[in-house]
């Protein structure tokens, strides 16, 4: 029987995605009104009876026809601009008369099997039997600008992918000032909002706060999604916990400027909007031209934040990251950066590769400093030719020497940047993003290349591809260490300067796409001064991202906890490093236990390790190889929060529940702590599990808990236990 996820009756639409439903309808005047988003419902026309306050006012003495300035309190599916909807509009177009009224009406709709790709932008993918897509076309009667809203419902996930295409069907130019990917309206009094802000070394801090009216904006105007705010958000009931209660999540598949707005009217209409940041966006649409917005992914959980996270993990793992890496085990890598910084030689690298191989590491990554005259972070970005003196020969020869030790080889690049002191900048100063008559701010002595210019992207592609080819690279670390300032392009006319931030991101994706296409087996790991551009747009090309430069195990508990709300363990680069701060010592077992919850590796010099620690590396690599499938493909359960608990614990459970890995970190030593019973999650209560010594009914593990206590005295002591179903 053909799959039916999208139902339509008299222009009322209901999308059934996994265990959720989402509904809206066309009003008699042709506008789009939102009806419902939540757990699965079977109703159709009855949905329109819900009190969405769409027929104002309830006060009988007021004339229902005379309330048109109050439209902001209604639930909109496409929120119009400047007709009494003062909360964020879905799209804003400045027309030929110079005003911004944008009030499109229904024209047509159609259903498509599977999920169409987005022109020029990364997006989730689905086979025809996995999803169904609804396209609804609206047209503004004044300007004849059309808005094609696209919704894809996934069959087995409570998730919907959304985007919009704006087409100028009129005969005058139109200026697009706002084009959101998602508008979702709620009729709700007591919602909390969760979001993730951060800084270098302190990425994705978890925040949860009550919405109490007004507007909250989570944003980036930095040119990249950045450290400061992740392009993701959760709204949930005030009573929602990890395991219970309703939760609504949304994230943008985008790596540039974004705005997420949560606007609550005094009458409790709450609007969630996600999209390009309107403050740094403007796009001129000539007659016949169209504009594709980025995609937004939304998901619903009736069972708390944990289920919401697992839905996003499955969505990103199975429908977003490159298919090539969906099921392939990731290599255990060693990166030389923290061990050597700019001070390396062929001999040091070959020695490191040898020790790495002896201990079970798969891949050696040569980080920054191999190109041009780069011996510090002050120069040479853009000069992507090997420094043959430093590496004692060609890059091909170095790669062969590394591979001769039995490990794969990877290199660091920062393709989007140019150093002030570089041959590239001396030759093409106009290739940097800049504005006339204003000095250029730099950071790390570097500028951002103008990727809105195809010739710049072509140049970088050729340089980077030549090295990949010569060294037959298995892996590339793609870094981006600064944000944009003085955002202008020497190649765009004044009326198109506002297009630069988005054109830049299109150029970035073009480069990713071309390199991925030319080198389908190249594993690209994203990075941005640590975990600064950890977003779903990059994950569509890079299945893993360096989560943070901060590898301190205590700080990582928080960083990985925050990251896990949307992003799967398999996306989080996590390495064992030396103890960063003399004030805080984490034993190597704990540093490894924390790094096991990501794509595992090392960020230190194995040849300088104390022998008693080096002995553990081999065992750690074996352990990871044995259990990594649970981390990569299993279900992740946050058992406690580092923000609230001194005992931080999580589980990686096989999808078929046949086995799981329990990790517990006892953060601070406490003389009066004798252990506790830690309640596990996700198990089938009728099953029984062995921890290798004793057997445990799952009902007991779920209800009473599993007894844990710190195996040693001291801070940051950990336990890792593998359970097998009997
Ligand atoms: C950034 C990255 C680091 C390292 C350095 C090299 O800071 O986050 O991992 O690659 O650049 O300069």
% of the chain beyond a pLDDT of 90? 92
**What is d(CA 614, CA 248) in angstroms, rounded to the nearest whole number?**
45
Q: Which of the listed residues 333, 376, 381, 527 should we mutate to test ligand 1's pocket, taking the one with most ligand atoms within 8 A of CB?
A: 527
Choose among 487, 488, 427: nearest CA to 459. 427
Q: Report CA dihedral (509, 515, 516, 517) to the nearest 10 degrees.
A: 110
pLDDT at 632 over 60: yes
122 CA to centre of ligand 1 in angstroms: 25
Regarding beta strands 635-638 and 290-292, do their DSSP bridges make them parallel or antiparallel, or are they unpaired? unpaired
pLDDT at 122 over 50: yes
Alpha carbon 148 to its chain's center: 25
Which positions ≥6 away from 357 have C-beta within 8 Å? 405, 406, 407
| CA-444 nearest atom, ligand 1 | 12
Cβ count near 219 (within 10 Å):
18
Q: Which of the listed residues 227, 377, 381, 412 should we mutate to test ligand 1's pocket, taking the one with most ligand atoms within 8 A of CB?
A: 412
Worst-scoring range by mean pLDDT, 59-73, 167-181, 300-314, 366-380?
59-73
- Quick one: which H or E segment has residue 448? strand 446-448
Confidence band of 188 (pLDDT split at 50, 70, 90): confident
| CA-528 nearest atom, ligand 1 | 8
Residue closest via CA to ligand 1's atom 1 equals 529
458 CA to centre of ligand 1 in angstroms: 24
Residue 69 confidence (pLDDT)? 75
Residue 68 confidence (pLDDT)? 74
**What is d(CA 291, CA 284) in angstroms, rounded to the nearest whole number?**
9
Residue 53 confidence (pLDDT)? 62
Residue indicated by tokens 């097998």: 724
Residue indicated by tokens 């506790």: 676
Residue closest via CA to ligand 1's atom 12 equals 368
Active-site residue, from 263, 314, 479, 635: 479
Residue 329 confidence (pLDDT)? 93
pLDDT in tens, 70-118: 788 889 999 999 998 899 999 999 999 999 999 999 999 999 999 999 9
pLDDT in tens, 430-446: 999 999 999 999 999 99
168 CA to centre of ligand 1 in angstroms: 43
Choose among 572, 651, 647, 33: nearest CA to 317. 572
pLDDT at 1 over 60: no
Regarding beta strands 572-577 and 544-546, do their DSSP bridges make them parallel or antiparallel, or are they unpaired? parallel
Residue 673 confidence (pLDDT)? 77
Residue closest via CA to ligand 1's atom 11 equals 529
Do 530 and 201 meet the contact criterion of CB atoms below 8 Å apart? yes
Q: Pocket residues for ligand 1 (CB within 6 Å)?
A: 337, 367-368, 377, 412, 479, 481, 527, 529-530, 546, 549
Residue 552: active-site member: no
Residue 62 confidence (pLDDT)? 57
Which positions ≥6 away from 681 have C-beta within 8 Å? 242, 243, 306, 637, 639, 651, 702
Active-site residue, from 185, 314, 549, 635: 549
Do 516 and 525 meet the contact criterion of CB atoms below 8 Å apart? no
Worst-scoring range by mean pLDDT, 63-67, 547-551, 703-707?
63-67
**What is d(CA 10, CA 15) in angstroms, rounded to the nearest whole number?**
15
| CA-530 nearest atom, ligand 1 | 8
Omega before 57 within 30 of 0, i.e. cis: yes
Residue 674 confidence (pLDDT)? 77
Alpha carbon 198 to its chain's center: 14
Tell me the average pLDDT across 324-330.
94
pLDDT in tens, 127-162: 999 999 999 999 999 999 999 999 999 999 999 999
470 exposure class (CB count in 10 Å sphere: 0-12, 13-18, 19+):
middle
34 CA to centre of ligand 1 in angstroms: 45
pLDDT at 400 over 70: yes
Residue closest via CA to ligand 1's atom 6 equals 368
Residue 54 confidence (pLDDT)? 57
| CA-477 nearest atom, ligand 1 | 10
pLDDT at 59 over 60: no
| CA-529 nearest atom, ligand 1 | 8
The two tokens of residue 580 are 């960063």
Confidence band of 671 (pLDDT split at 50, 70, 90): confident
**What is d(CA 124, CA 301) in angstroms, rounded to the nearest whole number?**
19
DSSP secondary structure letters along 571-584: GEEEEEE--S-TT-
pLDDT at 502 over 50: yes
642 CA to centre of ligand 1 in angstroms: 26
Q: What's the pTM? A: 0.98
Phi, psi dihedrals of residue 603, rounded to the nearest 5°: -135, 55
Residue closest via CA to ligand 1's atom 7 equals 529
Residue closest via CA to ligand 1's atom 2 equals 529
Do 562 and 647 meet the contact criterion of CB atoms below 8 Å apart? no
341 CA to centre of ligand 1 in angstroms: 9
Choose among 336, 254, 337, 310: nearest CA to 538. 254
Residue 381 confidence (pLDDT)? 98
Q: Which of the listed residues 200, 202, 337, 342 should we mutate to test ligand 1's pocket, taking the one with most ligand atoms within 8 A of CB?
A: 337
Tell me the average pLDDT across 290-300.
98
Q: Which of the listed residues 479, 480, 482, 531 should we mutate to test ligand 1's pocket, taking the one with most ligand atoms within 8 A of CB?
A: 479
Confidence band of 60 (pLDDT split at 50, 70, 90): low
Do 296 and 232 meet the contact criterion of CB atoms below 8 Å apart? no
477 CA to centre of ligand 1 in angstroms: 9
The two tokens of residue 725 are 């179903």
142 CA to centre of ligand 1 in angstroms: 51
Do 258 and 225 meet the contact criterion of CB atoms below 8 Å apart? yes
Tell me the average pLDDT across 206-233.
97
Confidence band of 63 (pLDDT split at 50, 70, 90): low
**Residue ranges in 166-271 assigned as alpha helix (H):** none
pLDDT at 452 over 60: yes
- Please, what is the average pLDDT of the chain? 95
Residue 479: active-site member: yes
């Amino acid at each position: 029987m053909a799959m039916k996820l999208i139902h339509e009756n008299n222009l009322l639409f209901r999308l059934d995605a996994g265990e959720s439903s989402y509904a809206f309808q066309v009003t008699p005047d042709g506008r789009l009104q939102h009806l419902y988003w939540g757990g699965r419902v079977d109703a159709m026309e009855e949905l329109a009876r819900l009190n969405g306050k769409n027929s104002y006012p309830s006060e009988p003495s007021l004339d229902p026809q005379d309330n048109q300035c109050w439209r902001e309190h209604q639930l909109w599916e496409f929120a119009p601009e400047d007709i009494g909807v003062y909360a964020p509009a879905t799209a804003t177009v400045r027309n030929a008369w110079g005003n911004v009224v944008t009030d499109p009406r229904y024209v047509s709709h159609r259903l498509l099997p599977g999920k169409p790709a987005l022109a020029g932008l990364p997006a989730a993918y689905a086979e025809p039997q996995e999803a169904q897509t609804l396209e609804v076309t609206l047209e503004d009667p004044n300007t004849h600008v059309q808005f094609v809203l696209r919704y894809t419902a996934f069959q087995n996930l409570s998730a919907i992918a959304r985007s919009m295409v704006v087409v100028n069907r009129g005969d005058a130019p139109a200026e697009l000032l706002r084009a959101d990917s998602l508008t979702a309206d709620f009729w709700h009094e007591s919602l909390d909002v969760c979001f993730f802000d951060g800084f270098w070394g302190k990425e994705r801090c978890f925040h949860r706060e009550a919405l109490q009216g007004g507007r909250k904006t989570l944003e980036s105007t930095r040119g990249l999604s950045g450290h400061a705010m992740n392009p993701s958000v959760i709204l949930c009931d005030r009573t929602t916990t990890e395991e219970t209660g309703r939760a609504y999540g949304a994230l943008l598949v985008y790596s540039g400027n974004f705005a997420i707005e949560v606007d609550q009217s005094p009458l409790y209409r709450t609007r969630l909007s996600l999209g390009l940041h309107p403050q740094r966006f403007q796009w001129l649409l000539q007659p016949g031209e169209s504009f594709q917005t980025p995609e937004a992914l939304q998901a619903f959980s009736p069972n708390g934040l944990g289920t919401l996270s697992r839905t996003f993990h499955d969505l990103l793992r199975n429908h977003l990251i490159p298919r090539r890496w969906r099921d392939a085990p990731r290599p255990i890598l060693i990166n030389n950066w923290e061990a050597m910084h700019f001070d390396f030689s062929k001999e040091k690298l070959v020695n490191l590769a040898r020790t790495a191989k002896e201990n079970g590491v798969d891949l050696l990554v040569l980080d920054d400093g191999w190109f041009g005259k780069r011996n510090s972070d002050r120069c040479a970005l853009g000069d992507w030719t090997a420094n043959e003196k430093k590496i004692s020969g060609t890059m091909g020869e170095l790669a062969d020497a590394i591979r001769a030790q039995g490990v794969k080889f990877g290199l660091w690049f920062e393709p989007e940047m140019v150093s002030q002191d570089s041959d590239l900048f001396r030759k093409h100063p106009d290739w940097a993003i800049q504005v006339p008559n204003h000095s250029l701010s730099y950071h790390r002595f570097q500028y951002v290349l103008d990727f809105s210019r195809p010739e710049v992207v072509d140049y970088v592609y050729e340089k980077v591809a030549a090295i990949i080819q010569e060294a037959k690279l298995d892996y590339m670390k793609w870094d981006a260490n600064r944000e944009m300032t003085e955002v202008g392009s020497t190649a765009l006319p004044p009326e198109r300067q506002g297009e630069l931030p988005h054109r830049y991101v299109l150029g970035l994706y073009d480069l990713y796409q071309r390199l991925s296409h030319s080198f389908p087996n190249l594993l690209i790991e994203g990075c941005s001064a640590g975990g600064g551009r950890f977003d779903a747009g990059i994950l569509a090309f890079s299945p893993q991202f360096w989560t943070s430069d901060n590898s301190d195990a205590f700080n990582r508990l928080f960083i990985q906890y925050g990251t896990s709300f949307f992003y799967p363990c398999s996306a989080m680069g996590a390495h064992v490093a030396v103890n960063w701060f003399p004030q805080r010592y984490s034993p190597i077992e704990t540093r490894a236990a924390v790094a096991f919850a990501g794509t595992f590796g090392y960020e230190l010099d194995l040849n300088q390790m104390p022998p008693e620690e080096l002995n553990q590396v081999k065992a750690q690599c074996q352990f990871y190889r044995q259990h990594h499938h649970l981390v990569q493909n299993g279900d992740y359960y946050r058992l406690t929060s580092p923000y609230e608990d001194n005992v931080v614990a999580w589980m990686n459970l096989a999808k078929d529940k046949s086995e799981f890995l329990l990790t517990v970190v006892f953060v601070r030593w406490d003389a009066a702590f004798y252990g506790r019973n830690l309640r596990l999650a996700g198990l089938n209560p009728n099953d029984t599990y062995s921890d290798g010594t004793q057997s445990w009914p799952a009902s007991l593990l779920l209800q009473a808990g599993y007894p844990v206590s710190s195996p040693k005295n001291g801070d940051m002591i950990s336990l890792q236990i593998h359970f097998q179903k009997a």
